[in-house]
Structure 1
Amino acid sequence: MHLFSENLAVEITAYYRNLALGHGVIPKVFTLVNAQGSQYLFFIDHLPLKEDEVDQFLSFIVQEHDAVCYARGTLVILEKADQLIEFAVIDQDDDQAIVCSAQLTRDVDGKPIGLSEFEKILAPKKTIFFGGLFNPVTLSADKADEFESLWDEMRPKILHRTMGI
């Protein structure tokens, strides 16, 4: 497993803890890191795409930026009082993914007030719903142009930084 994958798992746990407890929000998050350590992080909640196009777009971005790993996270509502924040880190060169999950506690008004420690397990990446974004995606020229334009539009709003090696 690439060192960036391990670091990404640690960072996303802190990121979600801050978002949930500090700001009261739990967005769907996507982040990737390339071999040079360049990281991009953005919310996917409001992408102006049809549901079936989101994975195509994310796969396009993973491939365009030569990602070595990526992570995707979300809120999972099992029942109103039983909620989890879950994410998985997918490494290009490893058959195992890092899957992390934490129990979210809300007050009577629905505001997040507690988050357990994230439990980390390894799972076969082929079992992860979005685990195949490294697989080549074939797009029409129009679709590729559409995705490139969307990415260009999003870039000023994306958290971009360099991870330490």
Structure 2
Amino acid sequence: MIDLGYSLSRRFPDPPQTDYRTADVRTLRHDLFCGDVYVADVKADREISTAWGWVPVLDFAWALCDIVERLDRDPRGSRAATTQFAELDFTESTDCVTFERRFGWVEIAADWMAADEPPLTFNHAELRREARDFLHDLVADLTDMHEGLGDNPAIWDLLARFPRV
């Protein structure tokens, strides 16, 4: 079972003069909503998490949904034996999270994991569902906290692009 989560940073608050209603995509993805994120395998009691406080959590959720879709480009779907690969780079560091899909399974690993630690492994369809749920739940939380964010056209487009499964 997959658990995706986040916490917002108190050290890196959003600028108080931000107009969330008109914020552009770059601002939404890279300049706001900083904190930490994690991906956990509940059954194995293991997780990949950041502890930096500056990760743009909306960008992480957005990029995760993009990556899950990119990993599904092979028309053979879960029957595809060819490995499909994607990376999620963190803009403020050299660290990244890697995603490898083979057949219906996705392995997730991070640069900062110990060399002998195995990657987290999830069913692709389950990862897609959880990533989209995470995105929608995160946007709902952020919309509750920030007046006008729910009226931002970029947020509407994002949620329409990745509907709940």
User: TM-score, normalized by length of structure 2?
Assistant: 0.28
Task: Answer 1 or 2: which has greater strand percent.
Answer: 1
User: TM-score, normalized by length of structure 1?
Assistant: 0.28
Q: Which has the higher contact order (CA 8 A, sep 6+)?
A: 1
